[in-house]
Amino acid sequence: MRHLLYEAASALLTRTRKWSRLRAWEIAVAKRRGMKRATVAVAPKLAVILHRMWVTGIKFEFGVRLQRRTRYKFA
């Protein structure tokens, strides 16, 4: 699974041209620390995004900021 996340992060940096906040963050890390470290740093972020998409059933939308849900409901 780690290998697949690494490959997805690598493709995000090298293959995609569409802007997203995740890609912008990865490019900023790549400028500071190098391309390989940026790819490794994005892999866990992708895992979290994919898990949240799976749990909530939402689609990933490039450049759209999601509203945070409150974890606790106070009645």
Contact 42, 36 (CB under 8 A): no
The Cα 63–Cα 75 span in angstroms is 34
- Supply the pTM of this predicted model: 0.67
Q: What is the pLDDT of residues 33-72, one digit of tens each?
A: 999 999 999 999 989 888 988 888 887 776 666 555 545 4
The Cα 34–Cα 50 span in angstroms is 24
Answer yes or no: is 31 within a domain: yes
Whole-number pLDDT of residue 69: 55
Whole-number pLDDT of residue 29: 93
**Nearest C-alpha neighbor of 49 from the set 39, 36, 61:** 61
Domain count, the chain: 1
Range of the domain at 38: 2-56
**Joined tokens for residue 26:** 């990865």
Answer yes or no: is 69 within a domain: no
Residue 74 pLDDT > 50? no
Answer yes or no: is 32 within a domain: yes
Answer yes or no: is 6 within a domain: yes
